[in-house]
Structure 1
Amino acid sequence: MDKKPSFKPYNQGQITFLPPSLEELIPEDHIVRIVDSAIENIDTKPLYEKYEGGGASSYNPVMMLKIIIYAYTQKIFSCRGIAKNCRENIMFMWLSGMNMPDYKTIDRFRVQRMKDIIPDIFTEVIAMLHSKGYIKLEKYFLESTRIKPDAGKDSWSWVKNPKKFNEKLREKCEELLESIGEIERQENQEFGEEDLPELKAGKDIGSQSILDTADKINKKLSRKPEDSTNRWEGLKKLWRGFSGVK
Structure 2
Amino acid sequence: MAHHSGTDRSQLLLLPEAVDDYVGPDNPVRFIEAFVDGLDLQAAGFVRVAAKETGRPGYDPADLLKLYVYGYINRVRSSRRLEAETRRNVELIWLLRHLKPDFRTIADFRRVNRSAFRQVFREFVILCRQLDLFGCELLAVDGTRIKAVNNKDHNFTRGSLSKFIREADEKLADYMKRLDESDADEEKATGSNGSGGGMAEKIAAIKGKRDRHKALLDELDRSGEDQISLTIRMPAPWRV
| Structure 1 contact 79–107 (Cα < 8 Å) conserved | yes
> TM-score, normalization: structure 1?
0.63
Q: Which residue of 1 aligns with 2:97?
A: 97
Change (3 A) 1:41 1:87: same
> Are residues 35 and 105 of structure 1, via their aligned partners in 2, closer, same or farther at CA, if it must alter by over 3 Å?
same
Instruction: Give the number of aligned pairs.
Output: 190
Helix, strand or coil for the counterpart of 1:42?
A: coil
Give, as a single letter, the amino acid of the residue that structure 2 aligns with 1:11.
T
Instruction: Indicate the residue corresponding to 2:88 in structure 1.
Output: 88
Alignment of structure 1 residues 51-200 onto 2, 5 Å: 53=52, 54-112=54-112, 114-131=113-130, 132=132, 134=134, 136=138, 140-142=141-143, 161-196=160-195, 200=198
Deviation digits for residues 92-147 of structure 1, max 9, x if unmatched?
A: 111111111110111111102x212122112222233344152845x644469xxx
TM-aligned CA deviation for residue 192 of structure 1: 1.7
- Distance in 2, Cα, partners of 1:60 & 1:119: 19
Equivalents in 1 of 2:175, 2:110: separation in Å? 14
Q: Which of structure 1's runs of 4+ aligned residues deviate more than 6 A? A: none
Distance 1:163 1:99, change over 3 A: closer
| Amino acid paired to 1:21 | A
Q: Which amino acid in the other structure matches residue 29 of structure 2?
A: V
Q: Counterpart in 1 of 2:7?
A: 11
Deviations 1:148-186 (A, max 9, x none): xxxxxxxxxxxx944521232223222322332122111
TM-score by length of 2: 0.64
SS, match of residue 204 in structure 1: helix
Q: 1:130 to 1:77 in 2, by over 3 A?
A: farther
Find 1:203's aligned residue among 201, 204, 215. Answer: 201
Unaligned stretches of 5+ residues in structure 1: 1-6, 145-159, 213-246
- Please tell me whether the aligned partners of residues 85 and 92 of structure 1 are also in contact (alpha carbons under 8 angstroms): yes
What residue in structure 1 maps to residue 33 of structure 2? 36
Tell me: CA distance 1:169–1:19, structure 2 relative to 1, closer, same or farther (3 Å).
Answer: closer
**Against the structure 1 CA distance between its residues 27 and 85, is the aligned structure 2 distance closer, same or farther, given a 3 Å change threshold?**
same
Percentage identity across paired residues of the two chains:
20
Cα distance in 1, alignment partners of residues 100 and 123 from structure 2: 26
Q: Secondary structure at the match of 1:64?
A: helix
1:169-216 deviation per Cα after TM superposition (whole angstroms, max 9, x unaligned): 22322232233212211111111235457x823433249949x7xxxx
123-132 or 12-21, larger mean C-alpha shift: 12-21
- Find 1:22's aligned residue among 19, 22, 26: 19
Query: Which runs of no fewer than 5 residues in structure 2 stay unpaired?
Result: 146-158, 211-240
Contact 1:87 1:100 in 2 (8 A): yes
User: Cα gap change, 1:130/1:10 in structure 2, threshold over 3 Å: closer, same or farther?
Assistant: farther
Backbone CA RMSD of aligned residues:
3.6
8 Å Cα contact 1:119-1:173 kept in structure 2:
yes
Shift of 1:31: 1.0
